[in-house]
Amino acid sequence: MESMEIDGGKTPSKGVNAGEEEKEKTKPIVLLLMGVPGSGKSTFCDEVMRISSRLWARVCQDTINNGKAGTKIQCLSLAASALKDGKSVFIDRCNIDREQRADFLKLGGPQTEKHAVVLDLPAKLCISRSVKRTGHEGNLQGGRAAAVVNQMLSKKELPKLSEGFNRITFCHDERAVKEAVNVYGSLGPLDSLPSGCFGQKNSDTKIQQGIMKFLKKADPPGNTGSEPTQKFIPNEIPVKKGSVFQRTKMGQRPSDESVEKFEKRNEVDITSTSGAISADSIPTLAFPSISTADFQFNLEKASDIIVEKVEEFISRIGNARLVLVDLSHGSKILSLVKAKAAQKNIDSNKFFTFVGDITQLHSQGGLHCNVIANAANWRLKPGGGGVNAAIFSAAGSALEVATKERASSLRPGKCVIVPLPSSSPLFLREGVTHVIHVLGPNMNPLRPDCLKDDYIQGCRILREAYASLFEGFISIVKSHGVVSKLNCGKSDEGIPTNDDQKTKREAVYESDKNKKCKGSQQDLEQKSKDKKVSKAWSSWAQALYDVALHPDKHKNVVLEMSDDVLVMNDAYPKARQHLLVLARVDGLDSIADVSREHISLLKTMHAVGLKWVDKFLSEDKSLLFRLGYHSVPSMRQLHLHVISQDFNSIHLKNKKHWNSFNTPFFLDSVDVIKEVKEAGTVTLKDDKFLAMELRCHRCRSAHPNIPRLKSHISSCQAPFPAALLQNGRLVSSEGTS
């Protein structure tokens, strides 16, 4: 931890023979500060400039534009002109990743020295400074500052000499910052500083020094080979020193791809424990492709399912990561999944593929995964071959014993979570704390329970397998309390509503509504009186109408059908379970068209909905449901929504989605039936509710945006508001409430 001890250049080496090599010695310095907001970049510059006898210019992106934030280009041009004037330059911007730094490293060509000072201070400190600076005290602003800082931290790439730096100084605490200020502050116009990396932090300074020495020998300064002084140094998992040397020395990289991934995703944080996010502390699940090896599952289909399930779960895993692992570099499944995930824009920080041995991800690949999945056999026994054999063998008898305690067999599509005893070599060497055994569908006639070519069953089971695997991983992460705490803090709550916005929307509302109606104003008024306002339905809004009237054309989507109603999945489900029960009668476009004559139809729709709820509840008791109608639906044809109350879906994307199910705009089926019975029509709620602030449907707390709301509802366990608990509005496994 005594980071500055390694620093050989605390005092600047004074230029000798002044005059003779004047040009060499007066090379101006381009000094890139690197750090998140609040890390003290500007203060660093100010301090150095205050005490320095050298001419410095500070290029600060936050103020370059007449005191306001400017662009990178402006910074580059100002820096270039300062260099022309013979000044050394501070590049005072976050410079958080390599790409951000690259253009600044070209400044002034070889006639300038390129330095970096990394202000890698504890995230907490940066956040609190950043809050103070903006003068926004309080939870909300604090929460935002934290989010900004942590967002940046998750992207940070520490600078390396190979990028083109002559000297990099790492500061992990304020003492180190002070020392760096002194180093640069006491640098006279003719002085220079030794090249190299200084102040790197590591849990084992001796190893660090050893590697520094070794690398100096092996790679002369300036050689790109001197880049990764921190690359293969594990932070928390004990590794024999010898092995560290060996790997570095012999360049035994697992594969180009994995090293590339490793560099990109993990190296950054491997040496840093001060940031809020360290790669070793990010909960990570490594999993092999299920069923595609010995069980011969079609690779195209399997890759679709993997990507689909990852997409489904990724919003629920917080800051954790999912990694698909395959031993072979030319793995077809890996490349298929990689391409499909990229196509779907899945966050590559949260999900990526990795080439390597799943039992040696940390020691060989530098990737720390606290949980690994095993493509198990139904007996949960070692052997067979492939991943199963490898994992049981690497984990030793401890895994076998621990597995036996949990389960004796496994059905296809299911998984069993086994905490790995600390005596297991996988725990000790790789830092694996849990193994999740998963059994996928088998398409291989030579293995038990072969489905032959029944890919309908096969796909269903494979989906189930990944779902239970990811569900299992989430439960581990949650029980260990390592999912990002940022998003579920109390600071999210009690956010005032934006009244201005609300009134604006209300004003717009009427004209909008009229725009949607067809016919002249006169017609409209007449129709309004008759309660028969009909919309000019756009072509896209006719899809349900077409299904209801021509179900034979849509056999693939129809789950159940009678003369009166039809059941289908919502094409873009807004929750884990989201069905539509369609009325099949023509002319019943929406709930506005309903009258007493439709009471029995409404009851049928409700009963069919309830039947499906029962089915879903028998599969998952934890679900809760509401059945209801949108006051003003977007799609033509009366349809009842049957929706589970988790609202856990990637398709729930905006305020309208949320509010259409969680404000009075959503009319509970029981209330609709009652009102039609009593009054003959339904009182619609206008769509100003769609623009309301976002509130949790359970605890009613307000949230500033959809991601924050979703994060909150993923964990809110507050009881539902009293009104929902009455008259059977909410349906649970305990029956209707």
Partner DNA sequence: GTTCTAGAAC
Closer by beta carbon to DNA, 379 or else 504: 504
Closer by beta carbon to DNA, 100 or else 737: 100
The least distance separating DNA from the CB of residue 153, rounded to whole angstroms, comes to 12
Residue 564's H or E segment, with its range, is none
Chain centroid offset of residue 312 CA = 12
Residue 464's H or E segment, with its range, is helix 455-479
The least distance separating DNA from the CB of residue 259, rounded to whole angstroms, comes to 23
Burial of 343 (0-12, 13-18, 19+ CB in 10 A): exposed
Q: How many helices (H) does the chain have, and how many strands (E)? A: 25, 22
Closer by beta carbon to DNA, 155 or else 685: 155
Closer by beta carbon to DNA, 252 or else 349: 349
Of 277, 312, 646, 304, the residue nearest 469 (C-alpha): 312
Closer by beta carbon to DNA, 704 or else 721: 704
Main-chain phi, psi angles of 11, to 5 degrees: -105, 135
The least distance separating DNA from the CB of residue 151, rounded to whole angstroms, comes to 6
Cβ atoms 309, 471 nearer than 8 A: no
Of 68, 66, 69, 60, the residue nearest 41 (C-alpha): 60
Closer by beta carbon to DNA, 46 or else 311: 311
User: What gap in Å lies between CA 686 and CA 660, rounded to an integer?
Assistant: 11
Closer by beta carbon to DNA, 144 or else 478: 144
CA atoms lying within 13 Å on the CB side of residue 245: 12
- Catalytic residues, by residue number, are 639
Task: Quote the tokens at residue 600.
Answer: 């029995």
Provide the residue type at 706 as one letter.
Answer: I
Task: Quote the tokens at residue 564.
Answer: 């009166």
Contacts with DNA by CB under 7 A lie at: 71-72, 100, 144, 147-148, 151, 155, 501, 538, 540-541, 571-572, 630, 633-635, 651, 653-655, 657, 660, 704-708
Residue with the two structure tokens 């590559």: 348
Residue with the two structure tokens 């298929």: 336
Closer by beta carbon to DNA, 95 or else 424: 95
Residue with the two structure tokens 């020495």: 213
Of 589, 605, 590, 697, the residue nearest 652 (C-alpha): 697
User: What gap in Å lies between CA 646 and CA 576, rounded to an integer?
Assistant: 7
User: What gap in Å lies between CA 180 and CA 319, rounded to an integer?
Assistant: 33
Task: Quote the tokens at residue 244.
Answer: 């560290």
SS3 113: strand
Provide the residue type at 462 as one letter.
Answer: L
User: What gap in Å lies between CA 528 and CA 735, rounded to an integer?
Assistant: 39
The least distance separating DNA from the CB of residue 29, rounded to whole angstroms, comes to 22
Cβ atoms 669, 627 nearer than 8 A: yes
Cβ atoms 582, 548 nearer than 8 A: yes
Closer by beta carbon to DNA, 261 or else 708: 708
Closer by beta carbon to DNA, 258 or else 631: 631
The least distance separating DNA from the CB of residue 3, rounded to whole angstroms, comes to 28
Provide the residue type at 676 as one letter.
Answer: V
Cβ atoms 546, 635 nearer than 8 A: no
The least distance separating DNA from the CB of residue 89, rounded to whole angstroms, comes to 17
Provide the residue type at 259 as one letter.
Answer: V
SS3 690: helix
E strand residue ranges, 516-634:
558-561, 565-569, 578-583, 625-630
Strand partners for 436:
373, 417
Cβ atoms 609, 669 nearer than 8 A: yes
The least distance separating DNA from the CB of residue 276, rounded to whole angstroms, comes to 16
E strand residue ranges, 356-472:
371-375, 415-419, 434-438
Cβ atoms 378, 449 nearer than 8 A: yes
The least distance separating DNA from the CB of residue 119, rounded to whole angstroms, comes to 18
Closer by beta carbon to DNA, 205 or else 634: 634
The least distance separating DNA from the CB of residue 150, rounded to whole angstroms, comes to 11
